[in-house]
């Protein structure tokens, strides 16, 4: 009688272990398949409870898995200024990091920020890592930015990022020096036609001004 009870419990125990093992295997396979072709992206957000919207989908802070590409994100929390930014996820970076620290506006938010200065300080490390990875990525793709900004007494050549691309900016109000700036890009060893160029202070001579 005792042996039968013991044997029955032993079988139940073994079956339970097998079921748990199978569930773990199934879960592991599911996680692996769901992450296939995706890259880990670390979202470091302060406050950590802030809402993160990525292309109209809400995600959490911490590590998320995304396919390579450019994404628009918005981070918001009641009492704080919201922030929007475009991120680039790519296997060309050693790490994909997104760091956002929201600025408090309400009295309660300011009190929270005062008590959580360490969280803001720690997030500066992630912000520095994000800037470093982005800088290396864009420099490898667009060597011209190693030469920029270039400042002349009559014009300035700089750049800004635009998602996964860059836009060259030429700042001068003189058509003559806009031409010289474009020629300077050639002298630096780059083809201006390879880039989108934004001419600052440009005025259309055909535009009619109404007094």
Q: Which residue has the higher pLDDT, 63 or 163?
A: 63
DSSP state of 80: B
- pLDDT mean over 146-171: 92
Q: What is the overall mean pLDDT for the chain?
A: 86
Tokens matching residue 127: 């912000």
What integer pLDDT is reported at residue 27 of this predicted model? 56
pLDDT reading at 95 higher than 70: yes
What integer pLDDT is reported at residue 67 of this predicted model? 93
What integer pLDDT is reported at residue 37 of this predicted model? 74
How far apart are the C-alpha atoms of 163 and 31, rounded to whole Å? 29
pLDDT reading at 86 higher than 80: yes
What integer pLDDT is reported at residue 9 of this predicted model? 63
What are the residues facing 46 on neighbouring strands?
Answer: 101
CB-based contacts of 192, cutoff 8 Å, min separation 6: 168, 182, 185, 186
Q: What's the pTM?
A: 0.69
The SS3 assignment for 113 reads helix
What integer pLDDT is reported at residue 65 of this predicted model? 94
Give the pLDDT band (50/70/90) at residue 48.
very high
What sign for the dihedral angle of Cα 24, 29, 33, 38? positive
- pLDDT mean over 184-208: 83
What integer pLDDT is reported at residue 49 of this predicted model? 94
What integer pLDDT is reported at residue 186 of this predicted model? 95
What integer pLDDT is reported at residue 112 of this predicted model? 96
């Amino acid at each position: 009688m005792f042996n039968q009870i013991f044997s029955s419990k032993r079988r139940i125990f073994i079956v339970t272990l097998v079921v748990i093992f199978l569930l773990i295997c199934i879960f592991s396979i599911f996680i692996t398949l769901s992450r296939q072709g995706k890259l880990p992206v670390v979202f470091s957000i302060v406050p950590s409870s802030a809402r993160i919207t990525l292309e109209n989908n809400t995600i959490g802070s911490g590590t998320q898995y995304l396919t390579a590409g450019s994404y628009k994100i918005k981070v918001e929390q009641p009492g704080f200024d919201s922030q929007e930014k475009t991120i680039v996820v790519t296997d060309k970076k050693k790490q994909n990091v997104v760091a956002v620290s929201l600025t408090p506006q309400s009295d309660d938010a300011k009190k929270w920020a005062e008590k959580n200065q360490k969280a803001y300080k720690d997030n500066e490390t992630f912000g520095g890592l994000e800037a470093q990875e982005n800088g290396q990525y864009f420099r490898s793709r667009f060597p011209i930015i190693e030469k920029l900004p270039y400042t002349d007494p009559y014009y300035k050549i700089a750049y800004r990022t635009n998602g996964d691309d860059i836009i060259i900016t030429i700042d001068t109000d003189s058509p003559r020096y806009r031409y010289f700036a474009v020629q300077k890009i050639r002298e630096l060893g780059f083809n201006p036609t390879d880039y989108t160029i934004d001419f600052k202070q440009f005025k259309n001579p055909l535009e009619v001004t109404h007094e």
